[in-house]
Structure 1
Amino acid sequence: MTDALLIIDMQTGLYDGPDKPFERERVLGTINHLIQGARNAGAPIFVARHTGPAGSPIEAGSPPWQVWPALDVDEARDHLFNKTRPSCFLGTDLAQQLHAAQVNQLVIVGMKTQFCIDTTCRVAAELGFSVLLPEDGHTCMDTPTLSAQEIIEHHNATLAGAFVKRVRATEIAF
């Protein structure tokens, strides 16, 4: 059994949209560090792109839909896939790919904390995967009600225990 890195929605339209994610440069650096660790260990890397319907700002193939160029993704080696829901599992073959690769533990990073990170962590746990959530490896934007920092802190605390093992990115060894 092995570990895998799952990177969620690090796309141009979200990362560099009108509302910038909290500590986006630091989070990008953290994710790139995890990518290198996974690559060095031969762990599979899965990259989810949220895909909107035709005519939406993040429709397949549009510039905002593309993976952020500074993300160290290798499209020839890494497993890129599209999703249309907050869960990386619903409507995709991610679970089948993880089982085929004999993955039992997922390291989940990316965007947006309160939507796709939260949902994917919960569903992964329900599907029997062990989940490591780097508390410093996901981000989102401020909302009218809560700051991004508050959202991140809340989800780190809420997901820990029942759904994920909360860690710092530097504690992860693939």
Structure 2
Amino acid sequence: MIRKTALLVIDAQTGIIEDPSNGPVHNPAGLIQTIQHVLTEARQRSIPVLYVQDLDVAEAGEEAFAIHPAIAPLPDEPVVLKRATDSFHGTTLHEQLQANGINHLVIVGCKTEYCIDSACRKATTLGYDVTLVRDGHSTSDSAVLSGEQIIAHHNTCLHGLGNLEPFILVRHSQENVFEPTHDSYR
């Protein structure tokens, strides 16, 4: 099967990455650097980039609501607005991906245990193979686990998780994440 890839940047908003009320996400500078690297690779390869922006982070127009300026979309890159943790629920994301023939998603962004987890899992039930960038997602500490522990846990439990045929691979940003290797495991 021929794979057509898109990069999905989820909730990489200033109010999440730098959130002073809940503490910033784990290693915010490293997260931004990784997402910048992945964005550069995608854009150089003409891979479609789509952003998802959470409407519940802050009011539109506020700095906290904005996608972090260091990793902001280019004018031609679509931004999908959502209210649920699931980036596909009540949005046009699936339709936009289908219209472009996408069947492999590379995912980066925030927050690991909520929106990243939900998007990865839902994508597989919609027929997408997923590559989650190991060092390209983050979250803040919870009452039970540090952000670093949550990230490590999800990297472990999501790697290899599948629904029917499509499944998730977790790969480091220094690998060729845009070249899906899923078929070599089938």
Greater relative contact order (CA < 8 Å, ≥ 6 in sequence): 1
Question: Which residue of the partner structure matches residue 165 of structure 2?
Answer: none
Q: How many residues align?
A: 169
Deviation at 1:162, TM superposition (A): 1.4
1:171 aligned to which of 170, 175, 179: 175
Runs of 5+ unmatched residues, structure 1: none
Per-residue CA distance 1:30-67 (angstroms, 9 max, x = gap)? 11111111111111001111002xxxx51233221111
Question: Which residue of the partner structure matches residue 64 of structure 2?
Answer: 64
Is the Cα contact below 8 Å between 1:107 and 1:131 reproduced in 2? yes
CA distance in 2, matches of 1:77, 1:46: 10
2:24 aligned to which of 20, 25, 29: 20
Question: Which residue of the partner structure matches residue 11 of structure 1?
Answer: 13
Per-residue CA distance 1:86-127 (angstroms, 9 max, x = gap)? 111001010010011111100000000000000000000110
CA distance in 1, matches of 2:124, 2:142: 27
Question: Which residue of the partner structure matches residue 110 of structure 2?
Answer: 111
What amino acid does structure 2 have at the position aligned with 1:62? E
Is the Cα contact below 8 Å between 1:132 and 1:165 reproduced in 2? yes
Question: Which residue of the partner structure matches residue 96 of structure 1?
Answer: 95
CA distance in 2, matches of 1:62, 1:103: 32
Deviation at 1:170, TM superposition (A): 1.1
Deviation at 1:81, TM superposition (A): 1.4
RMSD: 1.2
Is the Cα contact below 8 Å between 1:114 and 1:155 reproduced in 2? yes
Question: Which residue of the partner structure matches residue 123 of structure 1?
Answer: 122
Runs of 5+ unmatched residues, structure 2: 163-167, 179-186
Q: 4+ residue stretches of structure 1 with deviation over 4 A?
A: none
Deviation at 1:72, TM superposition (A): 4.4
CA distance in 2, matches of 1:137, 1:172: 13
